[in-house]
């Protein structure tokens, strides 16, 4: 028993040291509530003071650590209140500001008006009022949530008397839309941007009454609370006023008042309750020191086997982290030698070292997944067994044969067996998300050009095969896997070469259009080629030389000796060439060698004779 107490003390001391670095579990909430009713240079507003008092009472009843309520603040008092509240919000988790009173929007910026403001000119707003950005700056240091509620969407009381120094300056009714620049910040308006809110017929406005009803409900998410406020205000005002909320929060519920903790049922009696409590405490700490201390106190038994599985899981995770870092360094070394143009032998050795480190990393990942699956399965069986009755617990001890510390998957980290692969698949993310991650990484290294949609189709398989070819890996391409994701993530830059369409050439990580110079064209090899001139084609020129058929026709038309001179002259040819020939009326003179047109100014005379070898005509020139 003394040893047991000693172990308890050690575990609690370790827990205290571990939790000392964590933030306090209690959430600190602070609020500033301002209600301006008694304006010195504007009509009285009866509701803001009543609304501020109701909101302050609601927040105090909800357990806020600080609720600073201020009424009818002048400019100096309002400036001091914001400065003091900024100091309170600096170490708070949730900071809330509620303002009721007059507000104005100029050139798209919203301003809160103190009670002593005069606003004779539009430029006085910069000296006598406070912008909404000043309020957001005061609550910005809050760690978890920042909320500003503005119940100031009323008509501008200075609109009739305010002088405009610039005619183009915009002064609108109501308030302008805002977009918070700091995350986890909500800005709630009593009415939509550009519209005014109603004061109602009671001592509180419809918006303030709805806030009191919903904003401090325990466990109610703040977004749903403002949604219920909107519905109530719309119903109360006959759809004339619609509250609006700007900003966004995360996926978890965020409530101003946490839900009450449900009382846990008393655990069933367990003969090994003390051992179980020690194990759960060591498991909660989740480090090797706590688990080793538990095994030193309880070296044997069911919970000792569970503790050994948890230790194996921690060791496997440490080995995986070390292998991943070693693979990253090896890949960087290989890339460095390749970029520096080192000797081929050094580059080949670096590539082999990188490949071996990557294989060791994959094996460590599989071992870690197997150890994690075994520990999770053992914990699942333990939780199921401890919910049964005490009598069944004593008779049916949970079976943990598959989770024994000497399991082959745990004892042999480098062994690539079926059990390790199944364990890795069982703890893998959904297939669609895994495929989308692999597609995204393949696109980063230039191997995938399709849509990253999570569908592992033929295009995705070809992309992974292309990665295998250029990266020298042998990954399975039929399905997206964790091995493929890790292998692609290790590549810091492009792996697959850039492929461009016809007419474009690679230029870094982009395709540039190819522009050929004048006199050149883009050939089938996607290169510019100089155009060649056409070769001249020789042809017969028959314009000045009559054809053989023409000569035969002219000879056949020569007059004989029996024909009178005027009838023996050759008749004009039917074609246009003969008609346009130069000479005397288209006459042709022929001798033994050739036929030609009669010269200009000459004519033919019949001299008698004739025959096959004699010419009966003579060319006579004046």
Q: How many CA atoms lie within 13 A of 568 on its CB side?
A: 22
What CA–CA distance (Å, rounded) separates 279 from 275?
6
What residue spans define the domains of the chain? 29-248, 273-359
Residue 374: the pLDDT is 84
**Residue 386's pLDDT is what?**
65
Per-residue pLDDT of 554-574, as tens digits, reads: 555 555 444 444 444 444 444
Cα–Cα distance for residue pair 526/167, rounded to 1 Å: 62
- In what helix (H) or strand (E) does residue 597 lie, and over which residues does it extend? strand 595-597
Q: Are 153 and 195 in contact (CB under 8 A)?
A: yes
3-state secondary structure of 507: strand
Rounded CA-CA distance 589/504 in Å is 71
Report pLDDT digits (tens) over 57-97. 999 999 999 999 999 999 999 999 999 999 999 999 999 99
How, if at all, do strands 145-151 and 94-100 pair?
Answer: parallel
> Is 298 within 8 Å of 23 (Cβ atoms)?
no
CA distance readout (Å), 18 to 13, 21, 31, 62, 307: 9, 6, 32, 31, 19
- Residues of the chain with pLDDT > 90: what percent? 22
The pLDDT score that the predictor gives to residue 193 is 80
Q: Minimum mean pLDDT among 37-51, 116-130, 412-426, 450-464: which range? A: 412-426
Q: What is the mean pLDDT of residues 470-474?
A: 89
Cα angle value 487/493/494 (rounded, 5°): 90
pLDDT digits (tens, 9 = 90+) for 38-47: 999 888 888 8
Q: What is the mean pLDDT of residues 328-344?
A: 85
Query: How many whole angstroms separate alpha carbon 467 and alpha carbon 487?
Result: 10
The two tokens of residue 429 are 């993310």
Top-confidence residue, 14 or 197? 197
* Per-residue pLDDT, 581: 41
pLDDT, residue 601, reads 81
Do the Cβ atoms of 104 and 129 come closer than 8 Å? yes
Looking at the domain 29-248, which fold is it? Rossmann fold (3.40.50)
Q: To the nearest whole number, what is the mean pLDDT of the chain?
A: 78
What is the Cβ-side half-sphere exposure of residue 390, based on CA atoms within 13 angstroms? 8
Instruction: Say what the pLDDT of residue 571 is.
Output: 46
Mean pLDDT of 295-321: 86
Residues with Cβ within 8 Å of 202's Cβ and at least 6 positions away in sequence, in order, are 209
pLDDT at 201: 78
Mean pLDDT comparison of 49-53, 120-124, 245-249, 444-448, highest-scoring range:
49-53
Check whether 501 has a pLDDT greater than 80.
no
Give the confidence band of 232 by pLDDT, cuts at 50, 70, 90: very high
**pLDDT greater than 70 at residue 372:** yes
Q: In this predicted model, what pLDDT tens digit does every residue of 1-36 receive, in sequence order?
A: 444 455 554 555 455 444 444 444 478 999 999 999
Of 201-210, 378-387, 396-405, 530-539, the range with the lowest mean pLDDT is 396-405
Res 353 pLDDT > 80: yes
Highest mean pLDDT, choosing among 81-95, 398-412, 582-596: 81-95
Q: Does 424 have pLDDT greater than 60?
A: no
pLDDT band at 189 (very low <50, low <70, confident <90, very high): very high
The model's confidence at residue 389, banded by pLDDT at 50, 70 and 90, is very low
- 402: pLDDT strictly greater than 70: no
- Pick from 211-225, 421-435, 467-481, 485-499: least confident: 421-435
Rounded mean pLDDT, 308-331: 88
Instruction: State percent of the chain over pLDDT 70.
Output: 75
> Cβ atoms within 10 A of the Cβ of 593, count?
6
Residue 584 clears pLDDT 70, i.e. is over it: no
pLDDT in tens, 144-176: 999 999 988 777 777 777 887 776 676 766 788
Instruction: Answer whether 0.75 is exceeded by the pTM.
Output: no
Question: Is residue 268 classed as helix, strand or coil in its secondary structure?
Answer: coil
CA distances from 132 to 223, 256, 274, 572 (A): 21, 22, 58, 110
Q: Is the pLDDT of residue 114 over 90?
A: yes
pLDDT of residue 228: 94
Q: Which helix (H) or strand (E) holds 54?
A: helix 47-61
Q: What is the pLDDT of residue 540?
A: 56
Tell me what pLDDT residue 574 has.
Answer: 40
What pLDDT is attached to residue 536? Answer: 63
pLDDT value of residue 533: 66
The answer to whether residue 281 scores a pLDDT higher than 90 is no
Give residue 449's pLDDT.
83
């Amino acid at each position: 028993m003394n040893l047991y107490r000693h172990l308890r003390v050690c575990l609690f001391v370790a827990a205290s040291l571990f939790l000392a670095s964590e933030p306090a579990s209690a959430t600190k909430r602070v609020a500033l509530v301002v209600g301006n009713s008694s304006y010195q240079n504007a009509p009285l507003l009866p509701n803001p003071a009543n609304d501020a008092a109701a909101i302050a009472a609601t927040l105090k009843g909800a357990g806020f650590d600080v609720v600073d309520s201020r009424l009818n603040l002048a400019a100096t008092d309002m400036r001091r209140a914001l400065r003091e509240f900024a100091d309170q919000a600096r170490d708070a988790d949730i900071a809330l500001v509620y303002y009721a009173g007059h507000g104005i929007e100029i050139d798209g910026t919203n301003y809160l008006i103190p009670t002593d403001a005069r606003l004779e000119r539009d430029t006085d707003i910069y000296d006598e009022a406070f912008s909404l950005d000043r309020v957001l700056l005061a609550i910005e240091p809050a760690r978890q949530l920042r909320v500003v509620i503005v119940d100031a969407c009323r008509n501008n009381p200075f609109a009739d008397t305010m002088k405009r120094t610039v005619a183009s300056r915009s002064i609108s009714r109501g308030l302008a839309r805002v977009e918070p620049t700091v995350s986890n910040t909500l800005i709630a308006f009593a009415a939509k941007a550009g519209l005014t809110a109603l004061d109602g017929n009671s001592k509180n406005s419809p918006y303030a009454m709805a806030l009191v009803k919903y904003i401090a409900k325990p466990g109610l998410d703040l977004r749903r609370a403002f949604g219920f406020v909107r519905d109530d205000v719309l119903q109360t005002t006959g759809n004339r006023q619609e509250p609006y909320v700007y900003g966004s929060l995360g996926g978890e519920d965020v409530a101003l008042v946490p839900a009450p903790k449900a009382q846990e049922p008393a655990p069933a009696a367990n003969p090994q309750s003390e051992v179980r409590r020690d194990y759960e405490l060591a498991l909660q700490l989740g480090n090797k020191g706590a688990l080793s201390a538990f095994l030193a106190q309880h070296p044997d038994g069911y919970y000792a086997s569970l503790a050994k599985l948890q230790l194996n899981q921690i060791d496997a995770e440490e080995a995986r982290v070390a292998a991943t870092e070693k693979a990253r360094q090896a890949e960087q070394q290989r890339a460095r030698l390749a970029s520096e143009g080192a000797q081929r032998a050094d580059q080949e050795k670096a590539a082999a070292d990188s490949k071996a480190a990557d294989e060791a990393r994959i094996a460590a990942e599989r071992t870690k997944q197997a150890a994690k699956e075994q520990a999770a399965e053992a914990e699942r069986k333990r939780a199921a067994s401890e919910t049964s009755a005490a009598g069944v617990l004593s008779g049916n001890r949970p079976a943990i044969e598959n989770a024994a510390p000497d399991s082959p998957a745990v004892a042999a980290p480098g062994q690539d067996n079926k059990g390790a692969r199944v364990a890795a698949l069982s703890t893998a993310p959904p297939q669609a998300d895994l495929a989308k991650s692999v597609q995204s990484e393949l696109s980063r290294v230039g191997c995938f050009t399709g849509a990253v949609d999570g569908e592992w189709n033929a295009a995705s398989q070809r992309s992974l095969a292309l990665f295998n070819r250029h990266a020298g890996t042998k990954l399975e391409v039929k399905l997206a896997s964790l091995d493929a994701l890790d292998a692609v993530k290790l590549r810091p830059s492009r792996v697959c070469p850039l492929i461009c369409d016809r007419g474009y050439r690679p230029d870094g990580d982009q395709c540039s259009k190819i522009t050929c110079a004048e006199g050149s064209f883009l050939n089938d090899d996607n290169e510019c080629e100089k155009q060649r001139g056409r070769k001249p084609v020789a042809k017969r020129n028959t314009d000045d030389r009559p054809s053989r058929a023409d000569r035969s026709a002219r000879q056949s038309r020569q007059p004989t000796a029996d024909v009178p001179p005027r009838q023996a002259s050759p008749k004009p040819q039917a074609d246009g060439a003969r008609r346009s020939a130069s000479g005397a009326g288209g006459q042709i003179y022929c001798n033994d060698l050739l036929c030609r047109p009669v010269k200009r100014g000459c004519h033919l005379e019949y001299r008698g004779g004739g025959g096959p070898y004699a010419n009966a005509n003579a060319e006579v020139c004046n």
